Amino acid sequence: MPSRSVTVPDIGDFSDVPIIEILVSVGDTVAPEDPLVTLESDKATMDVPAPVGGTVESIEVSVGDRVSEGSALLTLSGGDGDEAAGDASAGAAARPEADGSGAATESGRPAESGEPAPDGTGDAAPATQSPTGASVASEPPPAAAGDDGAGRDFDVVVLGSGPGGYTAAFRAADLGLRVALVERYGTLGGVCLNVGCIPSKALLHAARVITETQEMAEHGIRFGDPKVDVGALIGWKQSVVDRLTGGLSGLAKQRKVEVIHGEGRFTGPHTLRIGESQSGADGREVSFANCIIAAGSEAATIPGLPDDPRVIDSTGALSPDAIPGRMLVIGGGIIGLEMACVYDALGTKVTVVEMMDQLIPGTDPDLIRPLAKRIGERYTDVLLGTRVDSIRAQKNGLQVKFADEQKARLFDRVLVAVGRVPNGAKIGADAAGVAVDERGFIAVDERMRTNAPHIYAIGDIVGGPMLAHKATHEAKVAAEVIAGRDVTFDALTVPSVAYTDPEVAWMGLTETRAKAEGIEYEKATIPWAASGRALGLGRPEGMTKILTEPDGGHVLGCGIVGVGAGDLISEAVLALEMGATAEDIALTIHPHPTLSETVAFAAEMIDGSITDLMPPRRRGR
Ligand code: FAD
């Protein structure tokens, strides 16, 4: 193939836009549609994709250069890639990409793997687990797991009352089983309700109210500076938690699930000793026919941290007694970034440090870019590819030394958000003959059975994405299998959401994984600058991306960044589970004007029927 100059494609009304990133180097081999450079207008970032495959012979531009349609970017030579569908503009904001290359995987619905979980800890699925919703199993379930319960105290004892545990207990009771739910703490609901999903989202809502009102100043509405009453804010957050955890206790009573408070440890294959509870109740031993381990996870720490109350984990960050002036967040994963978002809005000067070279490592870089840009502008610093060398507690603050920096920096608080570790090693599993790996995970099969056939495990403790909605679905499978139903956990995807500002959500196949595994796909991205609703919200930096089988086949994956992305992603999850094609989504009438239309636009872009933007060439029908 002769050399070919790649120029800036038609980028709509934009001109003289800066290049913010060059994604290739001289000598790199690129495939058609691989992103080459990233441009950024005041409304959106956009990747310019390779129009053909080849080797990068020379690069004519540098970061910071301003370019318009027709500006030369680089020269490609050699290679045998097909011309990308559409034209060289595919992928730029005014003409998002949609090519027709490649073939699908056999089923077109590849099983999920390797999705990052909060803080990137979720890639540790045990080998025997297939984290994929309940469906009819290909082989019959084992004959009644354990025994028929005769002579035992309970048919099922559930260890841990998080979203996995309470769901399993309630479902098992609804299926007619005698159930006990064991919880070491005084309230039900586990990490999610007490110190995780629910309190963090309440505080994130408060943060959103603050930043939205501040941003309206640009549009003619000015409020005064917020006066934060920390006690009242935390009290409100706690009232949300209390309402939900209290509700769970009521539901347990209605279902006649016996709730036993105290720390549980196995004493044999069919017995669990429950120690004295925090509330002082006496310990007791219970016997069971079947057990479901739902003991969850706890925050990981890093060795060598000073024992100082100013060094906190996410639980501490959710209940501050005051708003710190300067805070360091160690860990640029989901939990760290959500907490950073809260404190930034409350007025703290936030620094984030992440060991990897990207925030929320493992997520598609184009989804992270708008988030990185916004927090880069708001926070004191976002340090990527950087390690913390040491932290020294001093009277005037925590002195933190970063690798590669001579001078230490001073913070009032350090939040450690470096992942979560499963509680598998703390429940006396060997007494029951249950295998726990060296990291504390318990391997399970697709029916959530451990190596001991009458003992099941679900939720964070089995690995996979450490997410509440995964735990609840696994819980129903375990309870139903025990009740004799022929079901397995075989969801096609577990969606992930960072409830940051903007939110980042993804499901199914990611581009990162497709590229790593050579899975062919077709892609369309819709910049939210094309959405009237996003413009009206003052938040056009978002982006919706859909991946399908080549030639507009079944939906394989979806990624969304922007306000409310976490709610928008559900449509794509349903599309994947229902085996929908891009055309199915495009033909589904979405209400106007909504952000959900961006999902429909992306599908129309693949389908070729889009009218709100220019359709990719050669695909219009
Ligand atoms: P857990 O919720 O961890 O519950 C385990 C329970 O078992 C606990 O109550 C524990 O006390 C109890 N237990 C443990 N050992 C014993 C024992 N020996 N005896 C008796 N009881 C015991 N996920 C999402 O999907 N969305 C989110 O927005 C989200 N936000 C999060 C924010 C934060 C700050 C954190 C920390 C986590 C967040 N997560 C989120 C993750 C989510 O909380 C977990 O994935 C989920 O709670 C796991 O549920 P689980 O049932 O496996 O275990």
Mean pLDDT computed over 113-141: 36
CA 192 to ligand 1 centroid distance, Å: 5
Q: Give the residue whose CA is nearest to atom 29 of ligand 1.
A: 197
Cβ of residue 467 lying under 6 Å from some atom of ligand 1: yes
Give the strand pairing for 397-402 and 409-411.
antiparallel
Please give the number of the atom of ligand 1 that sits closest to the Cα of 339: 34
* Least confident piece of the model among 22-36, 166-180, 375-389, 516-530: 22-36
The Å distance, Cα 297 to ligand 1 centre, comes to: 6
At residue 129, the pLDDT reads 40
Confidence (pLDDT) at 38: 86
- Ligand 1, closest atom to CA 166? 51
* Ligand 1 and 423: CB distance under 6 A: yes
pLDDT of 108 > 50? The answer is no
What pLDDT is attached to residue 127?
Answer: 36
pLDDT at residue number 617: 66
End-to-end CA distance of the chain: 31
Asked if residue 498 has its Cβ within 6 Å of ligand 1, the reply is no
Mean pLDDT for all residues in the chain: 88
Q: Comparing C-alpha atoms, which of 500, 542, 562, 605 is closest to residue 45? A: 542
* Mutational pocket test of ligand 1: of 192, 314, 462, the residue with most ligand atoms within 8 Å of the beta carbon: 192
Q: How do strand 154-159 and strand 72-77 relate by DSSP bridges?
A: unpaired
Q: What ligand 1 atom has the least distance to the C-alpha of 314? A: 34
* Distance from Cα 369 to the centre of ligand 1, integer Å: 29
344 touches 214 (CB < 8 A): no
Q: What is the DSSP letter of 617?
A: T
Q: What is residue 80's predicted lDDT score, i.e. its pLDDT?
A: 52
Residue 49's pLDDT is what?
85
Residue-wise pLDDT for 433-469, tens only, equals: 999 999 999 999 999 999 999 999 999 999 999 999 9
| 431 φ, ψ (degrees, to nearest 5) | -60, -25
Tell me which residue of 190, 207, 210 sits closest to 198, measured CA to CA: 190
- Please report the atom of ligand 1 found closest to the CA of residue 297: 3
**If you measure from the C-alpha of residue 422 to the centroid of ligand 1, how many angstroms do you get, rounded to a whole number?**
10
What pLDDT is attached to residue 44? 67
The structure tokens 């993804």 sit at 506
How far is Cα of residue 346 from the mean position of the Cα atoms in its chain?
24
Query: Above 90 in pLDDT, residue 47?
Result: no
Q: Summarize the confidence of residues 326-354 as an average pLDDT.
A: 98
Mean pLDDT for 370-383 is 98
Distance CA 62, CA 438 (A): 48
Residue type, 453: P
Residue, of 55 and 89, whose pLDDT is higher: 55
Asked if 356 and 328 touch (Cβ cutoff 8 Å), the reply is no
Q: For a pLDDT cut of 70, what percent of the chain falls above it? A: 86
Is-contact 280 290, C-beta < 8 A? no
pLDDT at 109: 31
3-class DSSP string for 466-481: CCHHHHHHHHHHHHHH
Average pLDDT over residues 586-601: 98
- The Å distance, Cα 517 to ligand 1 centre, comes to 32
Task: Give the residue-averaged pLDDT of 379-408.
Answer: 96
Q: Whose CA is nearest to atom 34 of ligand 1?
A: 196
The least confident of 109-123, 222-236, 245-259 is 109-123
Tokens of 151: 């002579």
Please state, in angstroms and rounded to a whole number, the distance separating the CA atoms of residues 111 and 158: 29
The DSSP code for 562 is E
The response to whether residue 566 sits with its C-beta less than 6 Å from ligand 1 reads no
Residue 110 reports pLDDT greater than 70 = no
What average pLDDT does the segment 76-83 reach? Answer: 63
* Ligand 1 pocket check for 332: Cβ under 6 Å: no
Q: Which residue has the CA at smallest separation from atom 43 of ligand 1?
A: 192
Regarding pTM above 0.95, the answer is no
Question: Which residue has the least CA distance to atom 32 on ligand 1?
Answer: 196
| Residue numbers annotated as active site | 592
pLDDT in tens, 146-201: 466 778 999 999 999 999 999 999 999 999 999 999 999 999 999 999 999 999 99
Q: How large is the average pLDDT for residues 211-227?
A: 95
Ligand 1: atom nearest CA of 191 is 2
Q: How far is the CA of 461 from the centre of ligand 1 (A)?
A: 9
CA distance 154 to 182: 12
Sign of CA dihedral 495, 498, 501, 502: negative
Confidence band, pLDDT 50/70/90 cuts, at residue 39: confident
